[in-house]
Structure 1
Amino acid sequence: MSGGRMMRVLLTGVSGYIGKHLYESLHMEHDLVVLSQYKQAYEDVSWMRGDIFALEDVITAMKDIDIAVYFLDPTKRSSKTMEASYNDMNALAADNYGRAAEAMNVKEIIYVAGAVEDDETLRILRSYQTPVRVTHTAIRRKGMLARFQSARRDDVRIIRRFKIPASWTLEKFTAHYFDYYKNVLPGLSNVEIDENSYYLQGAKRDLIHLKRRTALSNNDRQIFDIAGGELATIRHQHTGTLEFRRMLGTEEIMVCIHRYEPSKSWLFYQLLQAPFHALTMRIFEVEMRIEKFNEEQRNGQTKTYTPHR
């Protein structure tokens, strides 16, 4: 209790093993708010429809919250296709939690220990101003890599982390990303830019139309809505986005695709589109590591370049 009222506590879902355990421990003494894309069965919680991987959803959920409990259940996925390592998924979600808690003046974050990524998670959460406390009891969980699975929505989420040269800004990285796509297939691929609209083309056809969301874009984040193109299905309720994010205090950038719905069949996506995108991003990752290595060499740092495995 705080000042005669129940503490308002945020949980990220209560349907999995961890969430159910926390619900049973907290619901009698606290006012629970649950952030989830799907409505929960419990009647004594306030449900906030949202996605832990979407910063704006997490900020909305943290309004008037006293304590935010952070954990990421590796057995739960919010998209039909999740192309990401658990480590990168967790880093993005933790960054959302830290940013949102600071923005909404949350009193404290409680981190549920027990993941392989505990050290990195705590570093990310503590890079913001909200105090972070760690549970004494660890709930063991093992990170997973999930790809195709059943889900309530036929969408794709992709999360990839890139190391960048120390001197690079997010703006420079974003420009380099689009230049890379423009030249990935000489004579076939291209990017046309018209103010805040970006048209990713193949064989002179608009495959993906991106529209920069200026109100949310800044030095730390660049947000593009997926607004059209032959390879995208557009639904007003679930606009897909491409996000570039600088991780605070690091030389790392997250590139994330959220809620993207392919227009072609899932067989086409699985056999052609997804493998091609994964290959091009793998090559781009190697290119960025070489850029970083070359800058370090110019600055007199002696390191041996080894490809990321």
Structure 2
Amino acid sequence: MNPVNPSTVEPAITSHRPKIVLTGATGYIGHNMLKQLVRDYDVIALSRHERKDHNNEHVEWRACELFSMSDADECLEGADYAIYLVHSMLPTAKLTQAKFEDMDVILADHFARAARKNGIKQIIYLSGIIPENVPREQLSRHLRSRLEVEQVLGSYGVPVTTIRAGLIVGPQGSSFPILARLVRRLPIMTLPEWTRTMTHPIALSDVLNAIQQSIGSPQLYNRAIDVGGPDVMTYKQMMEKTAEVMHKQRTFIDIPLLTIGLSRLWVTLVTQMPREMVYPLVESLAHPMVAHKDHHVPGISDGKVTFEDAARIALEQESQEQHKQKTKSSSHSHSSSSSAPAVSDVRSIQRVLIPEGKNARWAGSYYMEWLGRLLPGIVRTEQDQPGHYCVYVRFLRKPILELTFCPERSDAGSAVYYITGGAFARIKETHEGRLEFQQIPGTQECVIAIHDYLPSLPWFLYKFTQARVHLLVMHAFRRHLLRLIASDRQDHPSSASQPSSSQ
């Protein structure tokens, strides 16, 4: 791949400040990115919650739930470029029945569709370094998901520039804080084999500069750029260096027999960080994550801050932030304000394979038909008018669910059914409960998702009855589709091909 002359990597000169959509603007990387962007750009900062009181001359905050296609469309309006920092490793509803990779693919698909609709010139996506010579199916779930998101973002015609980084050294986030907590809490550490895998840490400031330098540079459209600092180290070496920065004496003992599975549990228990975050990250550490020469861009790929300096800065900033939080907590200790009550909402997402030549719209209508045949005499579905479906169970005269197809929000690759009634649903204007079928571009995989569903059953009863029944129904539908695919192959052996799958 031809190197890019750094002198040519410049945003186009315009008579006005370009406008950039920044996702994850309240997150660890996002809020630091926002501080840097406002020097040269007007920013549309996206957050899941309303923050209009933080608006200023160069920053407009918009509340945006990217699981909603309509929200995504509205929140990207008026922007020139977009920075995508979304990663759903933690639950996003009171009950989340979903793998993080399935949530991520939905968010990326909605964002890419909205970017195309709003004429976004470029999406800049922060991802992870993909190890060389490792087949996709052997990558960790985390890295496989990062690669899938990259491909989905680029599936709708908007140029994508992917910044691939290894371990980002900063005061918050996930990877470095996990490392710092291990060093801080364990005087003696038994180290598994993965701690001797090479990785390429990079300071947060260098990542922010790489992102900003990529904005509006046509030479970098549809390219993946690996970035890394001046040091290539093992995880063990990073822990040793972090202990030096902390001025702590630590003993490290190599134990090659400690498996990734045991390591995940050990790291979770010691750091007290969410297992949904720790497990995928530890799994990824089994892969060498070093910047590749083929993905090198002069002036962007080469981070300047050493690991030692980056660790020192991160720990100092962490200490300052903790002091601020204690001061803030103390000053509000007698406050009578109360937080808003939690919403009893549900998000449930499953991934299935659909037959070759079929699409999400087919999957939606077929599911409605199949559901009525799943338990004959117990469950039935009726379409009393075009696009309006009622689901009944035996002995109940009223439908348990009513679903209405939304043609305005649907196409071949996406089918949306709003939950518009039924004995098992609470309908609120603030929540658009819906069932969505979304095909992953370029594959025969379809993600079936329930979003913003508010059950009418008491929560404890719903969680252990209806929620579990839904998972059983989706499992049965997945198995039914696999049998349908197998039957199609037997009937058409010459034309059948293996449906693509990223799992």
Q: TM-score scaled to structure 2, two decimals?
A: 0.56
Question: Contact conserved, 1:112 with 1:138, CA < 8 A, in 2?
Answer: no
3-state SS in 2 of match to 1:173: helix
1:202 is the counterpart of 2:393? yes
Matches within 5 A, 1:1-309: 2-40=13-51, 42-44=54-56, 45-114=59-128, 116=143, 117-135=145-163, 137-138=165-166, 144=276, 152-195=342-385, 196-203=387-394, 204=396, 205-300=398-493
Contact kept in structure 1, 2:372 and 2:379, CA below 8 Å = yes
| Structure 1 contact 293–303 (Cα < 8 Å) conserved | no
Q: Give the superposed CA RMSD.
A: 2.8
Measured after TM superposition, the shift of residue 71 of structure 1 is 2.4
Please identify which structure carries the higher strand content: 1
Whether the 8 Å CA contact 1:206–1:230 is kept in 2: the answer is: yes
Q: How far apart, in 2, do the equivalents of 1:251 and 1:183 lie?
A: 24
1:4 maps to amino acid: S
Distance 1:298 1:21 in 2: 57
The code of the aligned residue for 1:83 comes to: Q
Deviates more, 1:83-92 or 1:204-213: 204-213
C-alpha separation between the residues in 2 aligned to 1:281 and 1:236?
27
Secondary structure of 1:122's aligned partner: helix
Question: Are the structure 2 counterparts of residues 292 and 108 from structure 1 closer, same or farther at C-alpha, using a change threshold of 3 Å?
Answer: same
Instruction: Identify the residue that residue 208 of structure 2 maps to in structure 1.
Output: none
Which structure is higher in helix share? 2
Question: How many angstroms does 1:8 deviate by?
Answer: 1.2
Alpha-carbon separation, structure 2, partners of 1:85 and 1:268:
23
Single out whichever of 293-302 and 275-284 deviates more from structure 2: 293-302
Q: Larger deviation: 46-55 or 24-33?
A: 24-33
Given residue 49 of structure 2, which amino acid in structure 1 is its aligned partner?
Y
Structure 1 residues 126, 214: closer, same or farther in 2, change over 3 A? Answer: closer
Unaligned runs of 5+ in 2: 1-10, 129-141, 169-173, 176-274, 278-339
In 2, Cα distance between the equivalents of 1:239 and 1:297? 42
1:136/1:176 Cα in 2 relative to 1: closer, same or farther (>3 Å)?
Answer: closer
Amino acid at match of 2:161: R
- CA positional deviation for 1:193: 0.6
Aligned pair in 2 of structure 1 residues 169, 111: CA closer, same or farther (>3 Å)? closer
Task: Report which of the two structures shows the higher radius of gyration computed on alpha carbons.
Answer: 2
Distance 1:42 1:73, change over 3 A: farther
Amino acid aligned to 2:353 = K
- Which consecutive residues of structure 1, in runs of 5 or more, have no partner in the other structure? none
Contact 1:164 1:252 in 2 (8 A): yes
- Which is further off, 114-123 or 199-208? 114-123
- The separation in 1 between residues aligned to 2:412 and 2:164, in whole angstroms, is 37
Residues 135 and 170 of structure 1: is their aligned pair in 2 closer, same or farther, counting only changes over 3 Å?
Answer: closer
Q: Which amino acid aligns with 1:74?
A: S
Letter in 1 for 2:50: K
Query: How many residues are paired up?
Result: 303
Q: In the TM superposition, what is the alpha-carbon distance from 1:76 to its structure 2 partner?
A: 5.0
Instruction: Report sequence identity in percent.
Output: 27
Deviations 1:68-97 (A, max 9, x none): 111223355442222111111111111111
